[in-house]
Amino acid sequence: EVQILETGGGLVKPGGSLRLSCATSGFNFNDYFMNWVRQAPGKGLEWVAQIRNKNYNYATYYAESLEGRVTISRDDSKSSVYLQVSSLRAEDTAIYYCTRTTTFDYWGQGVMVTVSS
């Protein structure tokens, strides 16, 4: 069974940083691209970042609205993907989801990030 679990959310002050983690199991992580998607309270879904697998040289892609403030990375030995977000703003307040591959076929339950002083 595919399982995806995000951790690392919480309350952060504006200007602060956060590292989200996404632990996976139930599939061969090395074979898959991984994504982060976020959803602000009461709003729609916004793609944040994608990291490809070793076959694609771990290429990374970012939403333009966040580029320069986010870094996606992965550790294939831990079947995990990470999202580092810096210079956090109030508008970064959202649930952050980790999803698998280009079809976003499996999603985690999400982790809440609140940016507030």
What is the per-residue binding string for another protein in 21-60, x denoting contact by CB under 8 A? --------------x--------xxxx--x----------
Q: Between the CA of residue 88 and those of 41, 64, 69, 100, what are the distances in Å?
A: 16, 15, 8, 25
CA angle 46, 69, 112 (to 5 degrees): 50
Q: How far is the CB of 111 from another protein (least distance, A)?
A: 11
| Single-letter amino acid, residue 2 | V
* Complex with another protein: residue 47 or 58, whichever CB lies closer: 47
* Complex with another protein: residue 58 or 61, whichever CB lies closer: 61
To which residue do tokens 């280009």 refer? 102
* Complex with another protein: residue 106 or 114, whichever CB lies closer: 106
Q: How far is the CB of 114 from another protein (least distance, A)?
A: 18
Tokens of 74: 């992965």
Centroid of chain to Cα 113: 11
- Residues in a beta bridge with 54: none
Q: How far is the CB of 63 from another protein (least distance, A)?
A: 5
Under the rule (CB under 8 A), what is the footprint of another protein?
Answer: 35, 44-47, 50, 61-64, 97, 102-110
